């Protein structure tokens, strides 16, 4: 497979002003006719270059004509997946007829079938699986789409824009025509047809235009879209208020489909969602999923400006739309709920998963320089680290100038396909802040390490922080340059009072320091005693911070810092320190034992009623297995598991009565509401219950079973079931079965059941997972089910990390099985194996052997890229 480089970018030789598509829909064979109004691109310069259109091996060409002259076979050729036409005029209409087989499309890219409907997924390069086209985001065209289908089976036929015509063919089929006035790249094209139910609503924009809102699902799911509809309206309002962005078309539609490779897709005016990211009801949906639905609805809606009106010049610029849109959805969720809780969740995720990616063989810059398969670059780096870059710009500019920058960006580039440089230029031009060095964040991979030391000069009352930055080498980037890192810092005195100090003549309680050299000193004056620094407040930059905090300092920050994020961060560091000691004891085969400091810290936390219960719950959750693995080198999975269990057990025993009290205090009476306050109480109550059960209390056990049986919402029921399963209670099997029987008609609940069942810690975990793949509820064609079972299995240390390597062998078998059927899903399943170099030696060689076994197969580009880079 060939490598594509950013440095080779050239403007397209041809443009497509108008795209007219006709779909004669049929499950087995659909005929697509395209009429493309094309001309040579003046920006390309004078040229006689042939016309090269992108296609796929699954597209069969029936005929091609230029200005209604049917081209004979000698006037075009098909080479691999390209259609090449040598002689072309400067302006012409190209007509192309192709045949595709939606029913046999298991890749879920292009046009495919999902349960009883037709749907599409075209980002990044799916459109070429529908017809031959200039399938690149800098070719923007006005689309008119005609859909012909049997009305009895497909009464709903949708595409982008507005419905402009409806009629019948001579054979009695229905014809519907859609027109989208906004020029767009092909990746934003969408088509849906099916027997769907609809929920209607209206949103009145700030300029008083009424927008018709519609959510479509299969009829049995239409009662689960109210929450998404409300979330959509909140998003529309928020984008007007926060970014001054109003919706542009007269209609906005969302469709839920069951088989989908990702979460959702922002097609112009017609978003398509994985049903797991749209449907919600109290009985079937947990709090986490409610929040996820809201965030994804918002994310896709926000793309209408950050992505659709202003799109990407090429796929290397993916973070232009994704990093910015993630930043927008994160801020939206923070505004809807709690700022600090949202920040803690986002940062935990980044530090766990993106840091791991940045330290592995697939590490790449936020704007990659090359790729083999672009689908492999829809990554945590492009999305989450990309959002951190935008957040840092926000920090450097301040809210007002940032808004001026985003206004200028949307204004300057409306209707264009642009680059990350254009985004930064707009921010810079509108604010006057120099972002030249800052731009290195886009091109340099790896997580910077910022090491801080300090000293206090009693005589002058001066406190000095010395900061060093260092970014470890990543594949293809052996040396790194210093970045411009905003480090937000505050100071506390030894009693925990926040103090203000002067930096460069400015006195404040909070300073943003600009670290832009490899080593730099910052001076705080006007102090009377040595302070405790609160560093990197709000996680002001995506770096690893090293400062030698004593436990006493951390306890002080935990109890007193004015920055809520850093209070959590201090608690996490305390727990990490404790767990690191325990992990080392476990590796050495020693008896585990803890220091009582953490117990005291947690006791204080459980007794402080001024704290946000959601924050207490986040702290009690303890650093995850995955985060501890990211920190470790090498990783001893069993030792990490043992250490976490031991610590949890010790805390549970020491604080049993506190956990019982907190559990009872935070029980909520009444109707379920997915509102921040209630979610906070439920999360604290449920984690308290898990500790209380861990203490071995009989009473806790009874409460647990009662909660499972009587809960009026899925959050509480599933929390109870998870506790039963995770504490390896004897009832695990019984309750798992009861749960399945109760919910077998609800596929999204069944997916949660599959995941939990597959994640069990037991000697027979591998047999369990094999059994699940034979279960009637399982379906290899459905990505959600594959993710549930194999994702769940990846969490089972006793199953996946079995010392004989059979867990890895099993996963490799599934990757090979899915490699050609659904390359995107297969490629994502490789992630755990890519971490082989960091595993303990006995496991590392077993992982490597599986990677080599996969590489010997005839691989899709997707899987090939990940496996070959992992072994390089």
Task: Give the residue numbers marked as catalytic.
Answer: 300
Restricting to residues 315-334, which ones interact with Zn ion according to CB under 5 A?
Answer: 322, 325
Of 38, 124, 605, 725, the one binding ligand B3K by CB under 6 A: 124
Measure the CA angle with vertex 337, ends 715 and 384; round to 5°.
90
Could you tell me how many residues of this chain bind Zn ion (CB under 5 A)?
A: 2
Closest C-alpha to 778, from 107, 808, 768:
768
The tokens of 349 are what? 């995720």
Of 58, 123, 218, 630, the one binding ligand B3K by CB under 6 A: 123
Name the residue whose CB lies closest to ligand B3K. Answer: 123
124 or 863, CB closer to ligand B3K? 124
Alpha carbon of 37 to those of 17, 52, 94: distances in Å?
A: 6, 15, 7
Q: Are the C-beta atoms of 483 and 448 separated by less than 8 Å?
A: yes
Instruction: Provide the minimum distance between the beta carbon of 481 and ligand B3K in the complex, in angstroms, as a whole number.
Output: 29
245 or 846, CB closer to Zn ion? 245
265 or 605, CB closer to ligand B3K? 265
Restricting to residues 116-135, which ones interact with Zn ion according to CB under 5 A?
Answer: none
Interaction of residue 108 with ligand B3K, rule CB under 6 A: no
Restricting to residues 244-263, which ones interact with ligand B3K according to CB under 6 A?
Answer: 262
Restricting to residues 581-610, which ones interact with ligand B3K according to CB under 6 A?
Answer: none
The tokens of 117 are what? 């409907």
Q: What are the residues facing 265 on neighbouring strands?
A: 272
Instruction: Provide the minimum distance between the beta carbon of 72 and ligand B3K in the complex, in angstroms, as a whole number.
Output: 37
Partner interacting with residue 614 (select from ligand B3K, Zn ion, none; CB below 5-8 Å by kind): none
Instruction: Please give the helix or strand (H or E) that residue 841 lies within, else none.
Output: helix 841-855
Closest C-alpha to 345, from 572, 534, 548, 535:
572
Q: Cβ contacts of residue 506 below 8 Å, gap of 6+?
A: none
387 or 790, CB closer to ligand B3K? 387
Q: Cβ contacts of residue 77 below 8 Å, gap of 6+?
A: 83, 84
Instruction: Provide the minimum distance between the beta carbon of 824 and ligand B3K in the complex, in angstroms, as a whole number.
Output: 6
123 or 454, CB closer to ligand B3K? 123
Query: Pairing mode, if any, of strands 14-24 and 141-149?
Result: parallel
Q: How far apart are CA 190 and CA 424, in angstroms?
A: 30
Instruction: Provide the minimum distance between the beta carbon of 303 and ligand B3K in the complex, in angstroms, as a whole number.
Output: 6
Restricting to residues 537-576, which ones interact with ligand B3K according to CB under 6 A?
Answer: none
Interaction of residue 300 with ligand B3K, rule CB under 6 A: yes
Instruction: Provide the minimum distance between the beta carbon of 119 and ligand B3K in the complex, in angstroms, as a whole number.
Output: 14
Instruction: Provide the minimum distance between the beta carbon of 308 and ligand B3K in the complex, in angstroms, as a whole number.
Output: 10
97 or 322, CB closer to ligand B3K? 322
Instruction: Provide the minimum distance between the beta carbon of 366 and ligand B3K in the complex, in angstroms, as a whole number.
Output: 14
Partner interacting with residue 660 (select from ligand B3K, Zn ion, none; CB below 5-8 Å by kind): none
Q: What are the residues facing 193 on neighbouring strands?
A: 118, 157
The tokens of 871 are what? 């072994």
- The CA radius of gyration of the chain, in Å to the nearest whole number, is 28
Q: Are the C-beta atoms of 601 and 377 separated by less than 8 Å?
A: no
Instruction: Provide the minimum distance between the beta carbon of 266 and Zn ion in the complex, in angstroms, as a whole number.
Output: 6
Q: How far apart are CA 49 and CA 11, in angstroms?
A: 13
Q: How far apart are CA 302 and CA 325, in angstroms?
A: 6
Restricting to residues 359-398, which ones interact with ligand B3K according to CB under 6 A?
Answer: 375, 378
Partner interacting with residue 549 (select from ligand B3K, Zn ion, none; CB below 5-8 Å by kind): none
Restricting to residues 789-808, which ones interact with ligand B3K according to CB under 6 A?
Answer: none
Q: How far apart are CA 769 and CA 775, in angstroms?
A: 10
357 or 678, CB closer to ligand B3K? 357
350 or 359, CB closer to Zn ion? 350
Instruction: Provide the minimum distance between the beta carbon of 539 and ligand B3K in the complex, in angstroms, as a whole number.
Output: 22
Q: How far apart are CA 275 and CA 583, in angstroms?
A: 40
Interaction of residue 322 with ligand B3K, rule CB under 6 A: yes
263 or 475, CB closer to ligand B3K? 263
Q: How far apart are CA 390 and CA 32, in angstroms?
A: 41
Of 135, 138, 266, 865, the one binding ligand B3K by CB under 6 A: 266
The tokens of 451 are what? 């090491």
Partner interacting with residue 658 (select from ligand B3K, Zn ion, none; CB below 5-8 Å by kind): none
The tokens of 653 are what? 């025993």
- DSSP letters spanning 430-444: HH----TTTTHHHH-
Partner interacting with residue 133 (select from Zn ion, ligand B3K, none; CB below 5-8 Å by kind): none
Helices (H), 303-385: 318-336, 339-349, 355-358, 380
Of 265, 418, 427, 606, the one binding ligand B3K by CB under 6 A: 265
Q: What are the residues facing 858 on neighbouring strands?
A: none
Length of the chain counted residue by residue: 872
124 or 654, CB closer to ligand B3K? 124
Restricting to residues 247-286, which ones interact with Zn ion according to CB under 5 A?
Answer: none
Query: Pairing mode, if any, of strands 462-470 and 449-457?
Result: antiparallel
Q: How far apart are CA 172 and CA 148, in angstroms?
A: 10
Q: Are the C-beta atoms of 749 and 284 separated by less than 8 Å?
A: yes
Instruction: Provide the minimum distance between the beta carbon of 19 and ligand B3K in the complex, in angstroms, as a whole number.
Output: 20
Instruction: Provide the minimum distance between the beta carbon of 4 and ligand B3K in the complex, in angstroms, as a whole number.
Output: 16
Q: How far apart are CA 660 and CA 61, in angstroms?
A: 69
Partner interacting with residue 262 (select from Zn ion, ligand B3K, none; CB below 5-8 Å by kind): ligand B3K
The tokens of 691 are what? 């500790």
A 10 A CB-CB count for 473 gives 12
Query: In the chain, what is the greatest distance between 2 CA atoms, to the nearest angstrom?
Result: 96
Partner interacting with residue 378 (select from ligand B3K, Zn ion, none; CB below 5-8 Å by kind): ligand B3K
Restricting to residues 808-847, which ones interact with Zn ion according to CB under 5 A?
Answer: none
134 or 265, CB closer to Zn ion? 265
Could you tell me how many residues of this chain bind ligand B3K (CB under 6 A)?
A: 12
Q: How far apart are CA 642 and CA 648, in angstroms?
A: 10
Of 299, 567, 835, 846, the one binding ligand B3K by CB under 6 A: 299
- DSSP letters spanning 380-433: HIIIIIHHHHHHHHHHHH-HHHHHHHHHHHHHHHTT-EE-HHHHHHHHHHHH--
Interaction of residue 135 with ligand B3K, rule CB under 6 A: no
Partner interacting with residue 128 (select from Zn ion, ligand B3K, none; CB below 5-8 Å by kind): none
Instruction: Provide the minimum distance between the beta carbon of 394 and ligand B3K in the complex, in angstroms, as a whole number.
Output: 20
Q: Report the chain's terminal Cα–Cα distance, integer Å.
A: 16
Partner interacting with residue 265 (select from Zn ion, ligand B3K, none; CB below 5-8 Å by kind): ligand B3K
A 10 A CB-CB count for 685 gives 22
386 or 564, CB closer to ligand B3K? 386
Q: How far apart are CA 340 and CA 262, in angstroms?
A: 27
Partner interacting with residue 682 (select from ligand B3K, Zn ion, none; CB below 5-8 Å by kind): none
Restricting to residues 201-240, which ones interact with Zn ion according to CB under 5 A?
Answer: none
Instruction: Provide the minimum distance between the beta carbon of 137 and ligand B3K in the complex, in angstroms, as a whole number.
Output: 11
The tokens of 814 are what? 């599934």
299 or 480, CB closer to Zn ion? 299
Q: Cβ contacts of residue 609 below 8 Å, gap of 6+?
A: none
Interaction of residue 862 with ligand B3K, rule CB under 6 A: no
Q: Which segment (298-306, 335-343, 352-360, 825-833) binds ligand B3K by CB under 6 A?
A: 298-306
Which positions touch ligand B3K (CB under 6 A)? Answer: 123-124, 262, 264-266, 299-300, 303, 322, 375, 378
Which positions touch Zn ion (CB under 5 A)? Answer: 322, 325
């Amino acid at each position: 497979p060939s490598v594509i480089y950013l440095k080779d970018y050239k403007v397209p030789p041809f443009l497509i002003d108008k795209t007219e598509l006709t779909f004669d829909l049929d499950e087995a064979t659909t005929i697509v006719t395209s009429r493309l109004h094309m001309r040579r691109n003046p920006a390309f310069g004078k040229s006689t270059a042939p016309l090269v259109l992108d296609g796929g091996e699954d597209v069969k060409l029936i005929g091609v004509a230029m200005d209604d002259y049917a081209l004979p076979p000698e006037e075009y050729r098909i080479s691999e997946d390209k259609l090449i036409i040598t002689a072309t005029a400067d302006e012409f209409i190209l007509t192309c007829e192709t045949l595709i087989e939606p029913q046999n499309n298991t890749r879920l890219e292009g046009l495919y079938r999902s349960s009883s409907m037709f749907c599409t997924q075209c980002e990044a390069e799916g459109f070429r699986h529908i017809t031959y086209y200039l399938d690149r985001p800098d070719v923007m065209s006005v689309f008119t789409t005609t859909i012909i289908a049997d009305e009895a089976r497909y009464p709903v036929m949708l595409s982008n824009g507005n419905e402009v015509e409806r009629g019948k063919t001579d054979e009695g089929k229905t014809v519907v025509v859609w027109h989208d006035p906004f020029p767009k790249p092909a990746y934003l094209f969408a088509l849906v047809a099916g027997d769907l139910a609809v929920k209607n609503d209206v949103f009145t924009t700030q300029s008083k235009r009424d927008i018709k809102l519609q959510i479509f699902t299969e009829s049995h799911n239409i009662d689960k879209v109210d929450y998404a509809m409300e979330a959509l309206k909140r998003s529309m309002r928020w984008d007007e208020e926060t970014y001054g962005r109003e919706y542009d078309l007269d209609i906005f539609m969302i469709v839920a489909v069951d088989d989908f490779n990702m979460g959702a897709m922002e097609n112009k005016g017609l978003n398509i969602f994985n049903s797991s990211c749209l449907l919600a009801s109290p009985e079937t949906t947990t709090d986490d999923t409610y929040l996820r639905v809201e965030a994804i609805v918002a994310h896709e809606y926000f793309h209408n400006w950050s992505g659709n009106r202003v799109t990407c010049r090429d796929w290397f610029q993916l973070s232009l739309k994704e990093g910015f849109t993630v930043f927008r959805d994160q801020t939206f969720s923070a505004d809807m709920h709690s700022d600090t809780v949202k920040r803690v969740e986002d940062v935990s995720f980044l530090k766990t998963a993106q840091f791991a990616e940045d330290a592995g063989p697939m590490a790449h810059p936020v704007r990659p320089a090359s790729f083999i398969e672009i689908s492999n670059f829809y990554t945590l780096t492009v999305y989450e680290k990309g959002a951190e870059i935008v957040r840092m710009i926000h920090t450097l500019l301040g809210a007002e100038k940032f808004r001026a920058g985003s206004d200028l960006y949307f204004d300057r580039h409306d209707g264009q396909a642009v680059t990350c440089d254009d985004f930064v230029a707009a921010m810079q031009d509108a604010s006057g802040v120099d972002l030249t060095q800052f731009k290195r964040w886009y091109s340099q991979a790896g997580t910077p390490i910022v090491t801080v030391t300090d000293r206090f000069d009693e005589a002058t009352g001066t406190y000095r922080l010395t900061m060093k930055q260092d970014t470890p080498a990543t594949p293809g980037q052996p040396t790194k340059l210093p970045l411009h890192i905003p480090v937000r810092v505050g100071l506390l005195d030894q009693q925990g009072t926040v103090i203000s100090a002067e930096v460069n003549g400015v006195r404040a309680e909070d300073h943003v320091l600009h670290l832009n050299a490899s080593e730099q000193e910052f001076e705080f004056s006007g102090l009377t005693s040595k302070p405790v620094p609160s560093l990197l407040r709000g996680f002001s930059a995506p770096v690893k911070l090293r400062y030698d905090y004593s436990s006493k300092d951390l306890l002080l920050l935990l109890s007193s810092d004015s920055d809520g994020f850093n209070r959590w961060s201090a608690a996490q560091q305390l727990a990490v320190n404790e767990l690191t000691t325990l992990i080392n004891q476990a590796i050495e085969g020693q008896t585990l034992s803890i220091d009582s400091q953490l117990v005291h810290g947690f006791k204080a936390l459980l007794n402080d009623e001024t704290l946000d219960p959601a924050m207490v719950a986040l702290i009690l959750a303890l650093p995850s297995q995955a985060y501890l693995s990211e920190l470790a080198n090498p990783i001893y999975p069993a030792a990490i598991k043992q250490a976490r269990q031991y610590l949890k057990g010790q805390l549970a025993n020491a604080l049993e009565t506190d956990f019982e009290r907190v559990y009872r205090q935070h029980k909520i009476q009444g109707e379920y509401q997915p509102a921040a306050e209630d979610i906070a109480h439920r999360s604290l109550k449920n984690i308290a219950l898990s500790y209380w059960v861990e203490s071995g209390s009989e009473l806790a056990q009874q409460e647990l079973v009662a909660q499972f049986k009587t809960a009026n919402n899925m959050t509480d029921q599933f929390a109870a079931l998870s506790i039963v399963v995770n504490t390896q209670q004897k009832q695990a099997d019984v309750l798992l079965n009861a749960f399945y029987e109760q919910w077998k008609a609800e596929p999204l609940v069944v997916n949660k059941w599959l995941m939990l069942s597959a994640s069990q810690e037991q000697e027979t975990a591998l047999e369990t997972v094999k059994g699940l793949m034979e279960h009637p509820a399982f379906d290899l064609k459905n990505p959600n089910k594959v993710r549930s079972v194999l994702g769940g299995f990846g969490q089972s240390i006793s199953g996946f990390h079995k010392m004989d390597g059979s867990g890895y062998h099993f996963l490799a078998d599934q990757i090979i099985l899915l490699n050609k059927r659904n390359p995107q899903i297969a490629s994502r399943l490789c992630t755990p194996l890519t971490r082989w170099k960091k595993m303990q030696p006995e496991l590392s060689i077993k992982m490597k052997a599986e990677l080599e076994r996969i590489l010997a197969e005839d691989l899709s580009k997707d899987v090939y890229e990940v496996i070959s880079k992992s072994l390089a």
